[in-house]
Structure 1
Amino acid sequence: MNDALDGVRDHYRATGLTERLKVALAVFGPEDQPLTPQQLAALDQFHTRGLAATAELANLAGIGAGMSVLDVGSGVGGPARFLAATEGCRVTGIDLSEAFVDAARYLTQRTGQTEQVSFHAASALELPFDDSRFDVVLLQHVAMNIADRTRLYREIRRVLKSGGRFATFDVVANGSEPHYPVPWARTPATSFLLTVDATHEAIEQAGFRTLVSQDDTEAAKAWIAQQRASGPPPSPNLSVVLGPDFAQLFTNLGRNLLEGRVGVLTAVFEASSTKTRIHMENRS
């Protein structure tokens, strides 16, 4: 497990990221000029369908004002800032990459949201929080980097209040090995995709029942096609975060979706009052 975590850290190492962001964001004006989460959307929404997917997941999860939300694998903090701004919730983000956490804190200062949003460097397998701390936990394009799903979902259940919501939006296996490199892994060594059924089983065994489950693969394909038709993305964009091979990573993601090698699952679960396995008879 340590080798896998080290490989994931290496993939997201992003040395000098905050300094690169400072240079890239100069297009918006001087350092002391406040930015909005929407201005940063092209570079801080590190998942398919970007801002729209974050907004839809928040709606499905029922996120509202005053709630305490944990974003596991928060990247450079885009979803956390967007949700705090639009829903009035308080968001805590954790990420394995210290460079991402530093960048997330810098961007949050730029948007003036440090009172609502905070970030910590931590592993999703050892969440540094007390039991029953959060109303909602989000997991967007993160689980495919984690081999020990049992431990991941049990940790998420531990920090959720009874009756709290766990919302996931992730790439899933679809029968064939993906083409690499992809945004979450440059080799198969750090890619741990599960099928939809295996994902549901692992989550339900951790003490959840399914509220919503939908296949968003076609929506992801449509988004990929739209991005291609629109030409080069506006600057600054995710290449600032992922580096010069971002175009290749994005191209392979689209190829894998179009060839049916991977799919996209959106699902929301409720934390049961007891941490025993819940059997679902009518899964959508």
Structure 2
Amino acid sequence: MNTSEDLKSCCAQLYSSDVVALVLGESYHPGGAALTRRLADLLGLRTGQRVLDVATGPGATARLLVTEYGVTVDGVDLAETTLRQARYRADRDGMGASIRFHYGDAEALPLPDNTFDAVVSECSFCVFPDKDTAAAEFARVLRPGGRLGLADVTLTDDGLPDELNTVAARVACIADARPISDYAEILARAGLDTGRTEPHDAALLRMIDQIEARVHLARMTHAPILEQSGVDIDAVLRYTDLARSAVTDGRLGYALLIAEKR
């Protein structure tokens, strides 16, 4: 895997797979709905605003924001299979008029300039190969004074163990994580000024524990799916152990970041 397009394709295929749904459930980020609500509150979302959800996945965040905050949402994702699921669930829940889903790349958003009051990106920015371009796209589609809410994996300057500096770890939102200061610098170059950050490392630890428990359960109850997908369960469990150690050692974390367009 040598190009950014290969990496993005790998991510899209992975996160639209049955195995990921089995292991992660519907929420693909630490903290689940509770941390999404915290991000929305920090953004100051209110009825009538228009929000963009980048890397929307199966649309759990989009539906929550429509239901609880009265906004309209456009979701963008690079996996057609996942988008079909998202559209089906939105229609099933009677939200078809409030949510629109688009096939697209975070580094080339298929949406017009100065359109959104807020952009949300949960546990995805650290996966984007060209973060400067993605940040510039966030800024482009935001209205002046609009806000970006990131929730993402963070890394200290000490870096990660070599075992976690792999393609698999990068796809799993770990290997290309950055310190919060790096994220803020990337956003600043795009015209987005960071005004607030909040650490939520405990949410990452809980998700690691949940993944480990779900993997053990899947091994017992869904062995054929795992075998067909070629997933190496022992390797996955090694990654969860390494990731947990990195969090408890203070090298890996999770944070919310709010930035405003100049």
Fold match, TM over 0.5?
yes
| Among 155, 179, 195, the residue aligned to 1:195 | 179
Counterpart position of 2:204: 220
| Among 251, 256, 259, the residue aligned to 1:269 | 259
| Change in 2 beyond 3 A, CA 1:211/1:16 | closer
SS at match of 1:156: helix
* Cα shift at 1:94: 0.4
* Cα shift at 1:120: 1.0
* Correspondences of 1:82-121 after superposition (within 5 Å): 82-121=64-103
Structure 1 residues 193-242: Cα deviation after superposition (integer angstroms, max 9, x where no partner): 22111111111121122221122224433x3487489x559x99xx99xx
For 1:169 and 1:120, the matched residues in 2 are separated by: 21
Counterpart position of 1:9: 9
For 1:164 and 1:211, the matched residues in 2 are separated by: 12
Amino acid at match of 1:52: A
Counterpart position of 2:37: 55
| Change in 2 beyond 3 A, CA 1:96/1:226 | closer
Contact 2:50 2:118 (C-alpha < 8 Å) held by counterparts: yes
For 2:96 and 2:2, the matched residues in 1 are separated by: 32
Percentage identity across paired residues of the two chains = 26
Counterpart position of 1:146: 128
| Number of corresponding residues | 243
* Cα shift at 1:66: 0.8
Contact 2:208 2:243 (C-alpha < 8 Å) held by counterparts: no
Backbone CA RMSD of aligned residues: 3.4
Amino acid at match of 2:179: T
Alignment of 1:209 with 2:193, yes or no, is: yes
* Cα shift at 1:65: 0.9
Structure 1 residues 146-174: Cα deviation after superposition (integer angstroms, max 9, x where no partner): 12111111110010000111110000222
| Change in 2 beyond 3 A, CA 1:5/1:259 | farther
* Correspondences of 1:247-262 after superposition (within 5 Å): 248=237, 253-262=243-252
For 1:114 and 1:198, the matched residues in 2 are separated by: 37
SS at match of 1:114: coil
Taking structure 2 as the reference length, the TM-score comes to 0.79
For 1:138 and 1:98, the matched residues in 2 are separated by: 20
Taking structure 1 as the reference length, the TM-score comes to 0.74
Structure 1: which 5+ runs fail to align?
A: 25-41, 273-284
Which stretch of structure 1 is more off in the superposition, 256-265 or 129-138?
256-265
SS at match of 1:154: helix
More helix by share: 2
* Cα shift at 1:180: 4.2
* Cα shift at 1:43: 2.2
For 1:15 and 1:266, the matched residues in 2 are separated by: 22
For 1:2 and 1:123, the matched residues in 2 are separated by: 18
